[in-house]
Amino acid sequence: MNKQSKNETAAIRTQLAKSSYLEHSNPLYLTSSFVFEDAEDMRASFAEENNRNVYSRFSNPNNAELVDKLCQLEGAEAGHTFATGMGAIFSSFAALLNSGDHVLSARAVFGSTHTLFTKIFPKWNIETTYFDASDLDSLDALVLPQTKILYVESPTNPGLQIIDLELLGKFAKSHNLIFIVDNCFATPYLQQPIQHGADIVIHSATKLIDGQGRVLGGIALGRNDLIREIYVFSRNTGPSLSPFNAWILSKSIETLAVRLDKHCDNAEQLATFFDNHPKVKDTRYPFLPSHPQYDLAKKQMKRGGNIIAFEVEGGLKGGQQFINQIQMCSITSNLGDSRTIISHPASSTHSKLSVEERRIVNISDGLIRVSVGLEHIDDIIEDIDQALNSCHV
């Protein structure tokens, strides 16, 4: 067995705790606190000398199990769970940065991450410079003496740009930067940024890791020393993941590989359908040969993921008309669900941006994002085809 197949098996079989009932399915530990045997045990537990759970804001067996599984899949030394993906992103930055530090980030980042960089961190004198990921030669000139973190998502949302992780991993090392990758769109099944030089990998577990649209969650994984700082920040500020959500997510990981393969099978067929449809312009899917970074995608990803972006004719109006014709697929703002979700960024997540700002992040007014689900592909295509054919702009 190679390492990846061993890790897939371990992710299914890992069970860190068992009660005296010897249950087969992993137990759920819904408890706020844990009992001490005596005063010495209590002292040692608070001093973190004995690896004991004390209080579920700090640690809980279900959270530890989720971390253990994801560490195996990502090839990470350590990890810590959070109530949401944004909790993981905010806490990681807040733990690792000091006032006056500087962040270098790819321009296309998740909306709330953009708000952190532009509205929240400046309050603490932390500035962010965006770089154009299609022009990495210009990166050198953007590094300042106080630059501490290099941050990217790949594939990006919703433009599906692929960013060269190996190149950036080397760049970060040579400039002594902490390299953080939001790996939410790929999951560790399709891409393992730590192998390419990432120091920290972040997930919104809300998306494909749960994969069924039920719970929110986040995780940061990576270097032991950095995760320790992130843990201490989280333990004292409180963005902890509930044990129930950790238990759900831990069970979800057991089906990650099989779900992702079906998501990718469906997405490949739908991307080919879009590529050949007369009403569709500019289909973007990382594993479509027409994708501008197809070779890079093939190099750093196992498959193309479940997100497709495409352009309908007629701009904002065309996009809205298409959305209004959809019958089966869901119109909602989540992604990575078992149900196919259609969204129109220009009239939802990115509606507050000006047309010019949207252009800069590669989001045109007619852009549609599809999070391809696990329904039968014929039914997904039938719904989308009838919606495209009823658009008249």
**Which residues sit at the interface with ligand PLP, rule CB under 6 A?**
84-86, 110, 153, 157, 182, 184, 204, 206-207, 216, 218
Residue nearest to ligand PLP (CB): 85
Instruction: Give, in order, the Cα–Cα distances in Å from 317 to each of 8, 211, 265, 340, 352.
Output: 45, 31, 31, 22, 17
Q: How far is the CB of 201 from ligand PLP (least distance, A)?
A: 12
Token duo for residue 63? 């959270």
Bridge partners, 284 (sequence order): 309
Provide the strand spans (E) within 278-320. 280-284, 307-312
Helix (H) or strand (E) holding 174: helix 165-174
Specify the residue, 181 or 280, whose C-beta has the smaller distance to ligand PLP. 181
Q: How far is the CB of 145 from ligand PLP (least distance, A)?
A: 29
Q: Which residues contact 249 (CB under 8 A, 6 or more apart)?
A: 66, 205, 209, 210, 215, 217, 241
Token duo for residue 274? 């879009």
Q: How far is the CB of 312 from ligand PLP (least distance, A)?
A: 22
Token duo for residue 282? 């500019």
For residue 390, the SS3 value is coil
Specify the residue, 84 or 234, whose C-beta has the smaller distance to ligand PLP. 84
Q: How far is the CB of 121 from ligand PLP (least distance, A)?
A: 16
Q: How far is the CB of 216 from ligand PLP (least distance, A)?
A: 5
Specify the residue, 26 or 157, whose C-beta has the smaller distance to ligand PLP. 157
Specify the residue, 210 or 383, whose C-beta has the smaller distance to ligand PLP. 210
Q: How far is the CB of 178 from ligand PLP (least distance, A)?
A: 18
Provide the strand spans (E) within the chain. 78-82, 102-106, 127-131, 147-153, 178-182, 200-204, 218-222, 280-284, 307-312, 341-343, 367-371
Q: Tell me how far apart the alpha carbons of residues 12 and 15 are, in angstroms, rounded to a whole number.
A: 9
Specify the residue, 147 or 204, whose C-beta has the smaller distance to ligand PLP. 204
Q: Name the nearest CA neighbour of 182 among 163, 201, 197, 210.
A: 201
Specify the residue, 84 or 321, whose C-beta has the smaller distance to ligand PLP. 84
Specify the residue, 218 or 319, whose C-beta has the smaller distance to ligand PLP. 218
Instruction: Give, in order, the Cα–Cα distances in Å from 196 to each of 140, 150, 310.
Output: 19, 14, 29
Specify the residue, 160 or 388, whose C-beta has the smaller distance to ligand PLP. 160
Q: Which residues contact 329 (CB under 8 A, 6 or more apart)?
A: 339, 340, 341, 342, 370, 373, 380, 383, 384
Q: How far is the CB of 229 from ligand PLP (least distance, A)?
A: 20
Q: How far is the CB of 86 from ligand PLP (least distance, A)?
A: 4
